[in-house]
Amino acid sequence: MIPALSAPPPVEETSSDTRCRILATAERFFREIGYQKTTVADIAKTLRMSPANVYRFFDSKKAINEAVVARLIGEVEARIAALADRPGLPAEARLREIIVFLHRDAVGRFTGHPRMHEMVEAAMSESWDVCRHHVDRITAVLERVIADGVARGEFAVEDPAVAARCVHTAIVRFCHPVLVVQCPEDFVPALDAMIAFLMGALRAERRAARAS
């Protein structure tokens, strides 16, 4: 009888490596069977370690979920920051690209992996600070682009920070991970219509100044 092959953990694995393996395994479980059905014991068994060892790095399943969500939203934040800093593009074009990306990412990520909704809903109810900081960072990127648009003469708003909050509020329906799936589209304008409306609002004062 041939004994089962055993894959030992990497030699001299660092704490950071172990954390990454735990998070990668947890995310796979969340995608495949859902957050509620996943247990710390499942994660530990797959990694061939004890649940107590997992708890050395994360004190609860909630903490694991927070870290997984933080990693996912970090990827989104990095992408929109790169779009915001694209050289040679007008601020309006960069703002459009950011909004479209946020929408497509939300739709693609959560319709492609419907069980991820459990993870996001858990984060929103149990770990609101993670979500709030994500909203603040997205709004900060929007503010940076709008402020640049004002400096270039593309936009005319008195307070880019307020304008960014307004833009983010207006697009929540299109990029909220739950709303993009659960809310019917016939109760909202098309994304292109909303973007056109927002860009018109950002330029409105500049047109008024020209008219006077």
Predicted local distance difference test score (pLDDT) of residue 79: 96
From residue 87, alpha-carbon distances to 93, 111, 112, 145, 153 in Å are 11, 32, 32, 12, 17
| pLDDT value of residue 83 | 96
Asked whether residue 99 carries a pLDDT value surpassing 70, the answer given is: yes
Contact 25, 43 (CB under 8 A): yes
Q: What is the pLDDT of residue 160?
A: 97
Residue 167 and residue 164: Cα distance in Å, rounded?
A: 5
Higher pLDDT among residues 90 and 207, named by residue = 90
Give CA torsion, residues 33, 39, 40, 41, to 10 deg: -100
So what's the pLDDT on residue 38?
Answer: 92
Highest mean pLDDT among 175-179, 184-188, 190-194: 190-194
Does the pLDDT value for residue 9 go beyond 60? no
- The lowest-confidence range among 40-54, 92-106, 128-142, 173-187 is 173-187
Task: Identify which has the larger pLDDT, 124 or 170.
Answer: 170
Residue 39 is which amino acid?
T
- Binned at pLDDT 50, 70 and 90, residue 209 comes out as low
Q: Residues 53-65: what's their mean pLDDT?
A: 93
Which CATH code is given to the segment(s) 15-57? 1.10.10.60
- How far is residue 77's CA from residue 134's CA, in Å, rounded to a whole number? 8
pTM of the model: 0.79
Tokens of 17: 């490596």
Domain boundaries, the chain: 15-57, 61-211
pLDDT in tens, 153-168: 999 999 999 999 999 9
What is the rounded distance in angstroms from the CA atom of residue 204 to the CA atom of residue 92?
A: 13
15-57 and 61-211 have identical folds: no
Closest CA to 127 of 205, 201, 70, 51: 70
CATH number of this structure's domain 61-211: 1.10.357.10
To the nearest whole number, what is the mean pLDDT of the chain?
Answer: 85
212 or 98, which is more confident: 98
pLDDT at 5: 39
pLDDT recorded at residue 73: 87
CA distances from 125 to 64, 104, 121, 141 (A): 15, 24, 6, 25
Cα–Cα distance, 110 to 118 (Å, whole number) = 10
Cα 193 to Cα 83, 86, 188, distances in angstroms = 21, 24, 10
